[in-house]
Amino acid sequence: MPKLTRPLAATAGALLVAACAFTPDKSPTLDEAFATYSARFVEELMAFYPEWGIYAGHYAHAATLTIPDAARRAAELDFAERHLAELDKFDLASLSPAHRTDLALIRNELEATRWSLTAYRGWSWNPAEYNVAGPFALLINTDYAPFETRLRTVLARLERVPDYYAAARASIETPTLEHVRLAIQQNQGALGVFGDDLIAKVEASALSADEKTLFKTRVAAARAAIGDYISWLKELEQRYANGGARSFRLGEALYEPLFAYQIQSGYTARELYERALAEKERLHARMAQLASELWPKYMGDEPPPSDRLELIGRLIAKLSERHVAREELFAQIKRQIPLLESFVAERQLLTQDPTKPLIVRETPEYMRGVAGASINAPGPFNPNAETYYNVTPLDHYTPEMAESYLREYNHWILQILNIHEAIPGHYTQLVHANKSPSVIKSLLGNGAMVEGWAVYAERMMLENGWGGHEPEMWLMYGKWNLRVVCNTILDYGVHVLGMSQEEALKLLTKEAFQTEAEAREKWRRVTLTHVQLTSYFAGYAEIYDFREQQKRALGERFDLRTFHDRFLSYGNAPIKVIRELMTSQP
Ligand code: ZN
Ligand code: ZN
Protein backbone atom coordinates (compact mmCIF):
# COMPACT_ATOMS: atom_id res chain seq x y z
CA MET A 1 0.00 0.00 0.00
CA PRO A 2 2.16 2.95 1.05
CA LYS A 3 4.99 1.07 -0.59
CA LEU A 4 3.75 1.95 -4.06
CA THR A 5 5.36 5.11 -5.39
CA ARG A 6 2.69 7.39 -4.01
CA PRO A 7 3.97 10.97 -3.72
CA LEU A 8 4.38 12.32 -0.22
CA ALA A 9 2.07 15.26 -0.86
CA ALA A 10 -0.76 13.01 -1.98
CA THR A 11 -0.20 10.60 0.89
CA ALA A 12 -0.27 13.38 3.41
CA GLY A 13 -3.41 14.76 1.91
CA ALA A 14 -5.21 11.49 1.32
CA LEU A 15 -7.04 11.55 4.56
CA LEU A 16 -10.15 10.95 6.51
CA VAL A 17 -13.10 11.95 8.62
CA ALA A 18 -14.15 10.49 11.91
CA ALA A 19 -17.15 8.39 10.94
CA CYS A 20 -18.66 6.68 7.95
CA ALA A 21 -21.94 8.33 7.03
CA PHE A 22 -24.32 5.48 6.45
CA THR A 23 -27.42 5.96 4.35
CA PRO A 24 -29.46 2.83 3.68
CA ASP A 25 -30.27 2.66 0.03
CA LYS A 26 -31.22 -0.74 -1.31
CA SER A 27 -30.69 -3.51 1.18
CA PRO A 28 -30.28 -2.01 4.66
CA THR A 29 -28.93 -5.18 6.23
CA LEU A 30 -26.15 -5.73 3.75
CA ASP A 31 -25.26 -2.05 3.70
CA GLU A 32 -25.15 -2.05 7.49
CA ALA A 33 -22.90 -5.08 7.43
CA PHE A 34 -20.60 -3.37 4.97
CA ALA A 35 -20.50 -0.15 7.02
CA THR A 36 -19.53 -2.19 10.06
CA TYR A 37 -16.90 -4.06 8.09
CA SER A 38 -15.40 -0.94 6.56
CA ALA A 39 -15.12 0.81 9.94
CA ARG A 40 -13.29 -2.25 11.28
CA PHE A 41 -11.10 -2.34 8.17
CA VAL A 42 -10.03 1.27 8.73
CA GLU A 43 -9.18 0.52 12.37
CA GLU A 44 -7.15 -2.56 11.44
CA LEU A 45 -5.45 -0.66 8.63
CA MET A 46 -4.40 2.18 10.91
CA ALA A 47 -3.15 -0.30 13.50
CA PHE A 48 -1.24 -2.34 10.91
CA TYR A 49 0.31 0.74 9.27
CA PRO A 50 1.19 3.13 12.14
CA GLU A 51 3.18 5.41 9.81
CA TRP A 52 0.22 5.73 7.45
CA GLY A 53 -1.82 6.56 10.54
CA ILE A 54 0.55 9.38 11.46
CA TYR A 55 0.23 10.91 7.99
CA ALA A 56 -3.54 10.48 8.26
CA GLY A 57 -3.68 12.12 11.70
CA HIS A 58 -4.61 8.86 13.49
CA TYR A 59 -2.10 8.71 16.33
CA ALA A 60 -3.29 5.76 18.43
CA HIS A 61 -0.49 3.50 17.14
CA ALA A 62 2.14 6.18 16.61
CA ALA A 63 4.50 4.84 19.28
CA THR A 64 5.14 1.71 17.21
CA LEU A 65 7.87 1.84 14.57
CA THR A 66 7.26 -0.69 11.77
CA ILE A 67 10.35 -2.83 11.20
CA PRO A 68 10.54 -3.51 7.42
CA ASP A 69 11.80 -7.09 7.54
CA ALA A 70 10.72 -10.35 5.88
CA ALA A 71 8.37 -11.25 8.74
CA ARG A 72 6.62 -7.93 8.34
CA ARG A 73 6.17 -8.49 4.60
CA ALA A 74 4.70 -11.93 5.26
CA ALA A 75 2.28 -10.37 7.74
CA GLU A 76 1.38 -7.68 5.24
CA LEU A 77 0.59 -10.27 2.58
CA ASP A 78 -1.54 -12.12 5.10
CA PHE A 79 -3.37 -8.91 5.98
CA ALA A 80 -4.21 -8.35 2.31
CA GLU A 81 -5.33 -11.95 1.70
CA ARG A 82 -7.48 -12.00 4.82
CA HIS A 83 -9.33 -8.82 3.90
CA LEU A 84 -9.73 -9.84 0.26
CA ALA A 85 -11.47 -12.97 1.54
CA GLU A 86 -13.76 -10.81 3.69
CA LEU A 87 -14.69 -8.65 0.71
CA ASP A 88 -15.73 -11.74 -1.23
CA LYS A 89 -18.61 -12.20 1.23
CA PHE A 90 -20.37 -9.06 -0.02
CA ASP A 91 -22.62 -9.20 -3.06
CA LEU A 92 -21.64 -6.08 -5.02
CA ALA A 93 -24.95 -5.64 -6.80
CA SER A 94 -26.89 -5.48 -3.53
CA LEU A 95 -24.84 -2.64 -2.04
CA SER A 96 -25.66 1.05 -2.32
CA PRO A 97 -23.56 2.94 -4.92
CA ALA A 98 -21.45 4.63 -2.23
CA HIS A 99 -20.57 1.33 -0.57
CA ARG A 100 -20.04 -0.42 -3.88
CA THR A 101 -17.40 2.10 -4.81
CA ASP A 102 -15.81 1.93 -1.36
CA LEU A 103 -15.58 -1.82 -1.73
CA ALA A 104 -13.98 -1.47 -5.16
CA LEU A 105 -11.40 0.93 -3.69
CA ILE A 106 -10.54 -1.41 -0.81
CA ARG A 107 -10.20 -4.33 -3.21
CA ASN A 108 -7.94 -2.35 -5.52
CA GLU A 109 -5.74 -1.34 -2.61
CA LEU A 110 -5.41 -4.87 -1.26
CA GLU A 111 -4.69 -6.33 -4.68
CA ALA A 112 -2.13 -3.59 -5.26
CA THR A 113 -0.48 -4.47 -1.95
CA ARG A 114 -0.26 -8.14 -2.84
CA TRP A 115 1.14 -7.31 -6.26
CA SER A 116 3.56 -4.77 -4.84
CA LEU A 117 4.97 -7.27 -2.34
CA THR A 118 5.29 -10.18 -4.73
CA ALA A 119 5.85 -8.74 -8.23
CA TYR A 120 6.92 -5.11 -8.01
CA ARG A 121 9.11 -5.73 -4.94
CA GLY A 122 10.30 -2.16 -4.46
CA TRP A 123 11.40 -3.22 -0.97
CA SER A 124 14.24 -5.23 -2.56
CA TRP A 125 15.62 -2.63 -4.96
CA ASN A 126 14.68 0.83 -3.73
CA PRO A 127 16.76 1.85 -0.68
CA ALA A 128 14.95 5.22 -0.58
CA GLU A 129 11.88 3.36 0.74
CA TYR A 130 13.77 3.24 4.01
CA ASN A 131 13.82 6.53 5.89
CA VAL A 132 12.42 7.06 9.38
CA ALA A 133 12.34 10.87 9.32
CA GLY A 134 8.90 11.83 7.99
CA PRO A 135 6.64 10.40 10.74
CA PHE A 136 9.05 11.63 13.47
CA ALA A 137 9.01 15.15 12.06
CA LEU A 138 5.21 15.12 11.95
CA LEU A 139 4.93 13.95 15.56
CA ILE A 140 7.34 16.65 16.70
CA ASN A 141 5.80 19.46 14.64
CA THR A 142 2.06 18.70 14.63
CA ASP A 143 0.18 20.10 17.58
CA TYR A 144 -2.27 17.20 18.02
CA ALA A 145 -1.55 16.62 21.75
CA PRO A 146 0.44 18.26 24.58
CA PHE A 147 4.12 18.52 23.65
CA GLU A 148 5.28 16.13 26.39
CA THR A 149 2.78 13.49 25.25
CA ARG A 150 4.16 13.75 21.74
CA LEU A 151 7.73 13.58 22.98
CA ARG A 152 6.93 10.37 24.89
CA THR A 153 5.49 8.91 21.70
CA VAL A 154 8.68 9.92 19.88
CA LEU A 155 10.77 8.41 22.68
CA ALA A 156 9.00 5.05 22.36
CA ARG A 157 9.22 5.15 18.58
CA LEU A 158 12.96 5.87 18.69
CA GLU A 159 13.78 2.64 20.51
CA ARG A 160 13.96 0.41 17.44
CA VAL A 161 15.44 2.75 14.83
CA PRO A 162 18.66 0.66 14.75
CA ASP A 163 16.53 -2.49 14.10
CA TYR A 164 14.74 -0.61 11.34
CA TYR A 165 17.92 0.15 9.44
CA ALA A 166 19.29 -3.35 10.00
CA ALA A 167 16.11 -4.70 8.37
CA ALA A 168 16.50 -2.21 5.53
CA ARG A 169 20.02 -3.44 4.75
CA ALA A 170 18.92 -7.06 4.92
CA SER A 171 16.02 -6.41 2.53
CA ILE A 172 17.94 -4.78 -0.32
CA GLU A 173 19.03 -7.26 -2.98
CA THR A 174 20.11 -5.53 -6.22
CA PRO A 175 19.24 -1.82 -6.08
CA THR A 176 19.11 0.75 -8.83
CA LEU A 177 22.00 3.20 -8.67
CA GLU A 178 19.55 6.11 -8.97
CA HIS A 179 17.62 5.04 -5.87
CA VAL A 180 20.84 4.44 -3.94
CA ARG A 181 21.78 8.07 -4.58
CA LEU A 182 18.31 9.31 -3.66
CA ALA A 183 18.41 7.31 -0.42
CA ILE A 184 21.79 8.84 0.49
CA GLN A 185 20.48 12.35 -0.09
CA GLN A 186 17.19 11.84 1.74
CA ASN A 187 18.71 10.06 4.73
CA GLN A 188 21.24 12.86 5.04
CA GLY A 189 18.22 15.15 5.24
CA ALA A 190 16.76 12.82 7.89
CA LEU A 191 19.68 13.56 10.21
CA GLY A 192 18.34 17.12 10.44
CA VAL A 193 15.21 15.84 12.21
CA PHE A 194 17.38 14.39 15.01
CA GLY A 195 19.67 17.37 15.44
CA ASP A 196 20.45 19.92 18.16
CA ASP A 197 17.07 21.59 17.68
CA LEU A 198 15.29 18.49 18.92
CA ILE A 199 17.64 18.05 21.87
CA ALA A 200 17.09 21.69 22.86
CA LYS A 201 13.31 21.18 22.75
CA VAL A 202 13.62 18.07 24.92
CA GLU A 203 15.83 19.90 27.45
CA ALA A 204 13.28 22.73 27.68
CA SER A 205 10.34 20.33 28.08
CA ALA A 206 8.68 19.01 31.25
CA LEU A 207 9.99 15.47 30.75
CA SER A 208 11.68 13.95 33.82
CA ALA A 209 15.45 13.92 34.09
CA ASP A 210 15.48 10.16 33.41
CA GLU A 211 13.33 10.56 30.33
CA LYS A 212 15.61 13.29 29.03
CA THR A 213 18.65 11.09 29.48
CA LEU A 214 17.00 8.18 27.74
CA PHE A 215 15.86 10.49 24.95
CA LYS A 216 19.39 11.70 24.30
CA THR A 217 20.73 8.13 24.31
CA ARG A 218 18.12 7.00 21.78
CA VAL A 219 18.58 10.04 19.52
CA ALA A 220 22.32 9.34 19.47
CA ALA A 221 21.65 5.70 18.55
CA ALA A 222 19.21 6.75 15.82
CA ARG A 223 21.74 9.19 14.35
CA ALA A 224 24.37 6.46 14.38
CA ALA A 225 22.01 4.01 12.63
CA ILE A 226 21.16 6.55 9.92
CA GLY A 227 24.86 7.37 9.54
CA ASP A 228 25.70 3.67 9.16
CA TYR A 229 22.98 3.27 6.55
CA ILE A 230 24.38 6.21 4.58
CA SER A 231 27.89 4.72 4.74
CA TRP A 232 26.56 1.37 3.58
CA LEU A 233 24.72 3.07 0.71
CA LYS A 234 27.91 4.88 -0.31
CA GLU A 235 29.64 1.51 -0.52
CA LEU A 236 26.81 0.24 -2.72
CA GLU A 237 27.16 3.31 -4.90
CA GLN A 238 30.83 2.51 -5.45
CA ARG A 239 30.23 -1.18 -6.00
CA TYR A 240 27.64 -0.51 -8.72
CA ALA A 241 29.24 2.59 -10.24
CA ASN A 242 30.53 0.62 -13.22
CA GLY A 243 27.56 -1.67 -13.81
CA GLY A 244 25.63 -4.53 -12.25
CA ALA A 245 22.88 -2.41 -10.69
CA ARG A 246 19.22 -2.99 -11.51
CA SER A 247 17.94 -0.86 -14.40
CA PHE A 248 15.73 2.04 -13.39
CA ARG A 249 13.50 1.23 -16.38
CA LEU A 250 10.47 -0.65 -15.09
CA GLY A 251 9.54 -2.56 -18.27
CA GLU A 252 6.08 -3.23 -19.69
CA ALA A 253 5.32 -6.31 -17.57
CA LEU A 254 5.43 -4.23 -14.37
CA TYR A 255 4.37 -0.92 -15.88
CA GLU A 256 0.87 -1.89 -17.10
CA PRO A 257 -0.27 -3.42 -13.78
CA LEU A 258 1.23 -0.54 -11.78
CA PHE A 259 -0.64 1.88 -14.01
CA ALA A 260 -3.89 -0.05 -13.56
CA TYR A 261 -3.58 -0.13 -9.75
CA GLN A 262 -2.48 3.45 -9.31
CA ILE A 263 -4.45 5.36 -11.92
CA GLN A 264 -7.61 3.21 -12.00
CA SER A 265 -8.42 4.82 -15.33
CA GLY A 266 -10.58 3.70 -18.20
CA TYR A 267 -7.45 3.59 -20.39
CA THR A 268 -4.52 1.22 -20.49
CA ALA A 269 -1.11 2.86 -20.19
CA ARG A 270 -0.54 2.28 -23.89
CA GLU A 271 -3.84 3.96 -24.82
CA LEU A 272 -3.11 6.96 -22.63
CA TYR A 273 0.33 7.24 -24.24
CA GLU A 274 -1.22 7.33 -27.70
CA ARG A 275 -3.79 9.86 -26.62
CA ALA A 276 -0.99 12.06 -25.27
CA LEU A 277 0.79 11.92 -28.62
CA ALA A 278 -2.38 13.20 -30.33
CA GLU A 279 -2.82 15.92 -27.70
CA LYS A 280 0.72 17.14 -28.27
CA GLU A 281 -0.09 17.61 -31.94
CA ARG A 282 -3.29 19.55 -31.16
CA LEU A 283 -1.50 21.90 -28.74
CA HIS A 284 1.32 22.58 -31.19
CA ALA A 285 -1.22 23.66 -33.84
CA ARG A 286 -3.03 26.01 -31.45
CA MET A 287 0.15 27.51 -30.05
CA ALA A 288 1.50 28.16 -33.56
CA GLN A 289 -1.61 30.21 -34.26
CA LEU A 290 -1.22 32.25 -31.04
CA ALA A 291 2.49 32.76 -31.70
CA SER A 292 1.80 34.08 -35.22
CA GLU A 293 -0.68 36.59 -33.79
CA LEU A 294 1.78 37.76 -31.12
CA TRP A 295 4.84 37.86 -33.35
CA PRO A 296 4.66 41.51 -34.57
CA LYS A 297 3.96 42.80 -31.04
CA TYR A 298 7.17 41.28 -29.64
CA MET A 299 9.44 40.84 -32.67
CA GLY A 300 8.61 43.89 -34.80
CA ASP A 301 9.57 43.61 -38.46
CA GLU A 302 11.70 40.50 -38.17
CA PRO A 303 10.22 37.83 -40.45
CA PRO A 304 8.79 34.88 -38.45
CA PRO A 305 10.54 31.51 -38.81
CA SER A 306 8.77 29.06 -41.11
CA ASP A 307 9.26 26.13 -38.72
CA ARG A 308 6.29 25.92 -36.38
CA LEU A 309 8.15 24.75 -33.27
CA GLU A 310 10.82 27.37 -33.82
CA LEU A 311 8.18 30.09 -34.08
CA ILE A 312 6.52 29.04 -30.83
CA GLY A 313 9.87 28.57 -29.11
CA ARG A 314 11.07 32.07 -30.06
CA LEU A 315 7.92 33.68 -28.67
CA ILE A 316 8.06 31.67 -25.44
CA ALA A 317 11.73 32.58 -24.97
CA LYS A 318 10.87 36.24 -25.44
CA LEU A 319 7.93 36.15 -23.01
CA SER A 320 10.02 34.26 -20.44
CA GLU A 321 12.17 37.34 -19.92
CA ARG A 322 9.36 38.69 -17.78
CA HIS A 323 9.88 37.13 -14.35
CA VAL A 324 10.42 38.08 -10.69
CA ALA A 325 13.87 38.59 -9.14
CA ARG A 326 15.10 35.51 -7.26
CA GLU A 327 14.81 37.17 -3.86
CA GLU A 328 11.22 38.15 -4.68
CA LEU A 329 10.02 34.65 -5.59
CA PHE A 330 8.76 33.65 -2.17
CA ALA A 331 7.08 37.03 -1.50
CA GLN A 332 5.42 37.01 -4.91
CA ILE A 333 3.95 33.55 -4.35
CA LYS A 334 2.66 34.65 -0.96
CA ARG A 335 1.11 37.79 -2.46
CA GLN A 336 -0.84 35.89 -5.12
CA ILE A 337 -2.67 33.48 -2.82
CA PRO A 338 -5.30 35.99 -1.53
CA LEU A 339 -5.81 37.28 -5.09
CA LEU A 340 -6.67 33.81 -6.31
CA GLU A 341 -8.97 33.33 -3.33
CA SER A 342 -11.01 36.45 -4.08
CA PHE A 343 -11.17 35.68 -7.81
CA VAL A 344 -12.67 32.25 -7.10
CA ALA A 345 -15.14 33.83 -4.66
CA GLU A 346 -16.18 36.66 -7.00
CA ARG A 347 -16.74 34.37 -9.97
CA GLN A 348 -18.50 31.78 -7.76
CA LEU A 349 -16.37 28.98 -9.17
CA LEU A 350 -16.59 26.81 -6.08
CA THR A 351 -17.09 26.97 -2.30
CA GLN A 352 -14.05 27.84 -0.17
CA ASP A 353 -13.46 27.43 3.55
CA PRO A 354 -11.98 30.59 5.14
CA THR A 355 -11.41 28.73 8.43
CA LYS A 356 -8.62 26.65 6.86
CA PRO A 357 -5.92 29.18 5.98
CA LEU A 358 -2.97 28.23 3.80
CA ILE A 359 0.49 28.99 5.20
CA VAL A 360 3.25 29.64 2.68
CA ARG A 361 6.65 28.49 4.00
CA GLU A 362 10.08 27.33 2.87
CA THR A 363 10.25 23.56 2.39
CA PRO A 364 11.80 21.84 5.45
CA GLU A 365 15.19 20.21 4.65
CA TYR A 366 14.07 16.61 5.11
CA MET A 367 11.31 17.03 2.51
CA ARG A 368 13.50 18.51 -0.21
CA GLY A 369 14.31 16.03 -2.95
CA VAL A 370 12.04 15.35 -5.88
CA ALA A 371 9.69 18.32 -6.41
CA GLY A 372 9.94 22.14 -6.16
CA ALA A 373 6.62 23.18 -4.60
CA SER A 374 4.00 21.11 -2.83
CA ILE A 375 1.03 21.19 -0.50
CA ASN A 376 1.30 19.55 2.90
CA ALA A 377 -2.20 19.18 4.30
CA PRO A 378 -3.57 17.83 7.59
CA GLY A 379 -5.84 14.81 7.67
CA PRO A 380 -9.44 14.89 8.90
CA PHE A 381 -8.46 12.97 12.06
CA ASN A 382 -6.60 16.18 12.82
CA PRO A 383 -8.58 18.85 10.97
CA ASN A 384 -7.15 21.78 12.93
CA ALA A 385 -3.51 21.24 11.95
CA GLU A 386 -2.05 23.79 9.55
CA THR A 387 -1.95 23.39 5.79
CA TYR A 388 1.41 24.43 4.34
CA TYR A 389 2.40 25.51 0.87
CA ASN A 390 6.03 24.40 0.74
CA VAL A 391 8.26 26.43 -1.56
CA THR A 392 11.84 25.27 -2.02
CA PRO A 393 14.02 28.43 -2.04
CA LEU A 394 16.72 29.02 -4.67
CA ASP A 395 19.45 29.62 -2.05
CA HIS A 396 21.80 26.93 -3.31
CA TYR A 397 21.38 27.94 -6.97
CA THR A 398 24.10 29.64 -8.98
CA PRO A 399 23.00 32.87 -10.75
CA GLU A 400 22.66 30.91 -14.02
CA MET A 401 20.55 28.16 -12.44
CA ALA A 402 18.35 30.74 -10.73
CA GLU A 403 17.84 32.66 -13.98
CA SER A 404 16.91 29.47 -15.78
CA TYR A 405 14.44 28.51 -13.04
CA LEU A 406 12.88 31.99 -12.96
CA ARG A 407 12.46 32.13 -16.74
CA GLU A 408 10.70 28.76 -16.48
CA TYR A 409 8.44 30.06 -13.68
CA ASN A 410 7.99 33.41 -15.40
CA HIS A 411 5.27 36.04 -14.92
CA TRP A 412 2.54 33.83 -16.42
CA ILE A 413 3.65 30.35 -15.39
CA LEU A 414 4.11 31.35 -11.75
CA GLN A 415 0.41 32.25 -11.62
CA ILE A 416 -0.53 28.91 -13.15
CA LEU A 417 1.73 27.13 -10.65
CA ASN A 418 -0.10 28.82 -7.77
CA ILE A 419 -3.45 27.85 -9.25
CA HIS A 420 -2.22 24.26 -9.52
CA GLU A 421 -0.64 23.91 -6.08
CA ALA A 422 -2.88 26.17 -4.05
CA ILE A 423 -6.12 27.82 -5.18
CA PRO A 424 -8.29 26.27 -6.49
CA GLY A 425 -5.90 23.34 -7.11
CA HIS A 426 -4.40 20.94 -4.56
CA TYR A 427 -5.03 22.98 -1.43
CA THR A 428 -8.71 23.64 -2.21
CA GLN A 429 -9.28 20.04 -3.28
CA LEU A 430 -7.73 18.65 -0.10
CA VAL A 431 -9.82 20.93 2.12
CA HIS A 432 -12.92 19.49 0.42
CA ALA A 433 -11.59 15.92 0.53
CA ASN A 434 -11.16 16.15 4.28
CA LYS A 435 -14.88 16.78 4.58
CA SER A 436 -15.74 13.72 2.53
CA PRO A 437 -18.23 11.45 4.26
CA SER A 438 -16.30 8.37 3.12
CA VAL A 439 -13.31 7.40 5.23
CA ILE A 440 -12.37 4.92 2.54
CA LYS A 441 -12.37 7.45 -0.28
CA SER A 442 -10.27 9.83 1.77
CA LEU A 443 -7.83 7.18 2.94
CA LEU A 444 -7.30 5.28 -0.30
CA GLY A 445 -6.79 8.48 -2.24
CA ASN A 446 -6.42 8.31 -5.99
CA GLY A 447 -3.39 10.22 -7.28
CA ALA A 448 -4.82 10.77 -10.77
CA MET A 449 -7.89 12.46 -9.31
CA VAL A 450 -5.71 14.67 -7.09
CA GLU A 451 -3.27 15.69 -9.84
CA GLY A 452 -5.97 15.75 -12.51
CA TRP A 453 -8.01 18.18 -10.45
CA ALA A 454 -5.07 20.58 -10.10
CA VAL A 455 -4.40 20.49 -13.84
CA TYR A 456 -8.10 20.87 -14.61
CA ALA A 457 -8.22 23.90 -12.25
CA GLU A 458 -5.60 25.71 -14.35
CA ARG A 459 -7.64 25.58 -17.53
CA MET A 460 -10.89 26.26 -15.71
CA MET A 461 -9.47 29.45 -14.13
CA LEU A 462 -8.19 30.73 -17.47
CA GLU A 463 -11.49 29.93 -19.19
CA ASN A 464 -13.23 31.98 -16.51
CA GLY A 465 -11.04 35.00 -17.06
CA TRP A 466 -7.97 34.70 -14.84
CA GLY A 467 -5.30 36.47 -16.88
CA GLY A 468 -7.90 38.45 -18.80
CA HIS A 469 -7.90 36.11 -21.84
CA GLU A 470 -4.53 37.51 -22.96
CA PRO A 471 -3.01 35.51 -25.85
CA GLU A 472 0.28 35.60 -23.91
CA MET A 473 -1.36 33.77 -20.99
CA TRP A 474 -2.90 31.17 -23.31
CA LEU A 475 0.38 30.62 -25.15
CA MET A 476 2.18 30.10 -21.84
CA TYR A 477 -0.65 27.87 -20.67
CA GLY A 478 -0.11 25.80 -23.81
CA LYS A 479 3.51 25.39 -22.87
CA TRP A 480 2.57 24.45 -19.30
CA ASN A 481 -0.08 21.99 -20.44
CA LEU A 482 2.42 20.43 -22.87
CA ARG A 483 4.38 19.56 -19.78
CA VAL A 484 1.73 17.18 -18.44
CA VAL A 485 1.15 15.76 -21.92
CA CYS A 486 4.88 15.16 -22.32
CA ASN A 487 5.14 13.77 -18.78
CA THR A 488 2.94 10.92 -19.99
CA ILE A 489 4.92 10.46 -23.20
CA LEU A 490 8.17 10.58 -21.23
CA ASP A 491 7.15 8.15 -18.48
CA TYR A 492 5.83 5.50 -20.84
CA GLY A 493 8.64 6.16 -23.31
CA VAL A 494 11.39 5.75 -20.73
CA HIS A 495 9.98 2.84 -18.71
CA VAL A 496 8.41 0.80 -21.51
CA LEU A 497 9.87 1.89 -24.85
CA GLY A 498 13.48 2.42 -23.79
CA MET A 499 13.64 6.15 -24.62
CA SER A 500 17.21 7.39 -24.17
CA GLN A 501 18.23 10.38 -22.08
CA GLU A 502 19.13 12.23 -25.29
CA GLU A 503 15.69 11.57 -26.82
CA ALA A 504 13.99 12.57 -23.60
CA LEU A 505 15.86 15.87 -23.35
CA LYS A 506 15.06 16.58 -27.00
CA LEU A 507 11.35 15.94 -26.44
CA LEU A 508 11.26 18.21 -23.40
CA THR A 509 13.35 21.09 -24.77
CA LYS A 510 12.34 21.13 -28.46
CA GLU A 511 8.73 19.97 -28.34
CA ALA A 512 7.70 21.08 -24.85
CA PHE A 513 9.89 24.22 -24.83
CA GLN A 514 11.46 23.47 -21.46
CA THR A 515 14.80 24.84 -20.32
CA GLU A 516 17.79 22.57 -20.04
CA ALA A 517 17.63 22.75 -16.22
CA GLU A 518 13.96 21.78 -16.08
CA ALA A 519 14.44 18.98 -18.59
CA ARG A 520 17.37 17.53 -16.65
CA GLU A 521 15.41 17.64 -13.39
CA LYS A 522 12.52 15.87 -15.10
CA TRP A 523 14.89 13.24 -16.41
CA ARG A 524 16.09 12.66 -12.86
CA ARG A 525 12.50 12.36 -11.68
CA VAL A 526 11.53 9.84 -14.34
CA THR A 527 14.47 7.65 -13.27
CA LEU A 528 13.17 7.71 -9.67
CA THR A 529 9.40 7.29 -10.12
CA HIS A 530 7.07 5.15 -12.21
CA VAL A 531 3.56 5.95 -13.49
CA GLN A 532 3.16 8.94 -11.15
CA LEU A 533 4.10 11.34 -13.97
CA THR A 534 1.17 10.09 -16.08
CA SER A 535 -1.38 10.79 -13.36
CA TYR A 536 -1.62 14.49 -14.26
CA PHE A 537 -2.71 13.98 -17.83
CA ALA A 538 -4.85 10.92 -17.12
CA GLY A 539 -6.86 12.71 -14.43
CA TYR A 540 -7.13 16.02 -16.27
CA ALA A 541 -8.48 14.46 -19.46
CA GLU A 542 -11.08 12.45 -17.56
CA ILE A 543 -12.34 15.40 -15.47
CA TYR A 544 -12.53 17.78 -18.40
CA ASP A 545 -14.44 15.30 -20.55
CA PHE A 546 -16.83 14.54 -17.71
CA ARG A 547 -17.61 18.24 -17.20
CA GLU A 548 -18.30 18.74 -20.89
CA GLN A 549 -20.64 15.74 -20.90
CA GLN A 550 -22.49 17.06 -17.86
CA LYS A 551 -22.90 20.42 -19.60
CA ARG A 552 -24.49 18.73 -22.58
CA ALA A 553 -26.65 16.46 -20.43
CA LEU A 554 -27.97 19.18 -18.09
CA GLY A 555 -28.18 22.11 -20.53
CA GLU A 556 -29.59 25.20 -18.77
CA ARG A 557 -29.56 23.43 -15.43
CA PHE A 558 -25.77 23.04 -15.46
CA ASP A 559 -24.10 25.21 -12.81
CA LEU A 560 -20.32 25.30 -12.60
CA ARG A 561 -20.06 25.85 -8.84
CA THR A 562 -22.53 23.06 -8.11
CA PHE A 563 -20.62 20.73 -10.43
CA HIS A 564 -17.29 21.53 -8.72
CA ASP A 565 -18.65 21.32 -5.17
CA ARG A 566 -20.28 17.98 -5.85
CA PHE A 567 -17.29 16.61 -7.70
CA LEU A 568 -15.00 17.52 -4.79
CA SER A 569 -17.43 16.28 -2.15
CA TYR A 570 -16.65 12.62 -2.90
CA GLY A 571 -13.04 12.91 -1.78
CA ASN A 572 -10.02 11.42 -3.52
CA ALA A 573 -11.82 8.64 -5.37
CA PRO A 574 -10.90 7.59 -8.91
CA ILE A 575 -12.69 9.82 -11.40
CA LYS A 576 -14.63 6.94 -12.86
CA VAL A 577 -16.02 6.25 -9.36
CA ILE A 578 -17.01 9.91 -8.80
CA ARG A 579 -18.61 9.95 -12.18
CA GLU A 580 -20.67 6.89 -11.36
CA LEU A 581 -21.84 8.46 -8.09
CA MET A 582 -22.70 11.83 -9.64
CA THR A 583 -24.65 10.36 -12.49
CA SER A 584 -26.47 7.68 -10.45
CA GLN A 585 -27.67 10.13 -7.76
CA PRO A 586 -28.97 13.22 -9.60
ZN1 ZN B 1 15.94 37.08 -16.46
ZN1 ZN C 1 0.23 18.67 -8.59
* HEC-encoded secondary structure of 89-157: CCCHHHCCHHHHHHHHHHHHHHHHHHHHHHHHCHHHHCHHHCCCHHHHHHHHHCCCCCHHHHHHHHHHH
Q: What pLDDT does 76 receive?
A: 98
**Strand order, beta sheet including 387-391:** 358-362, 387-391, 373-376
CB 276 within 8 A of CB 489: yes
How close is the Cα of 323 to the center of ligand 1, in Å? 6
* The pLDDT value given to residue 383: 61
What is the per-residue pLDDT for 27? 52
pLDDT of residue 17: 30
Number of the ligand closest to the Cα of 399: 1
Alpha helices (H) along 347-425: 399-408, 411-421
Cα-Cα-Cα-Cα torsion 416, 294, 485, 537, nearest 10 degrees, comes to 40
CA 193 to CA 188: how far, in whole Å?
Answer: 10
Query: Burial level of 408, CB count in 10 A (0-12/13-18/19+)?
Result: buried
Burial of residue 88, with CB atoms counted within 10 A of its CB: 0-12 exposed, 13-18 middle, 19 or more buried: exposed
Alpha-carbon gap, residue 159 to 326, rounded angstroms: 43
487 CA to centre of ligand 2 in angstroms: 12
pLDDT at 126: 97
Q: pLDDT at position 93, please? A: 78
Q: Which residues of the chain have pLDDT under 50?
A: 1-24, 370-371
Strand pairing of 387-391 and 358-362?
parallel
pTM as predicted: 0.83
Ligand nearest to the CA of 457: 2
Position 314 scores a pLDDT of 96
From CA 435, how far away is CA 440, in angstroms rounded?
Answer: 12
Q: Which pLDDT score, from 0 to 100, does residue 3 have?
A: 35
Going from the Cα of 481 to the center of ligand 1, the distance in angstroms, rounded, reads: 22
d(CA 398, ligand 1 centre) in Å: 13
Quote the DSSP letter at residue 328. G
Can you name the residues that pair with 246 across neighbouring β-strands?
Answer: 176
Q: What's residue 516's pLDDT? A: 87
Report the separation in Å between the CA atom of 69 and the middle of ligand 2, taken as the mean of its atom positions: 33
First to last CA, the chain: 33
Contact indicator for 33, 42 with CB cutoff of 8 Å: no
| Ligand (nearest to CA of 403) | 1
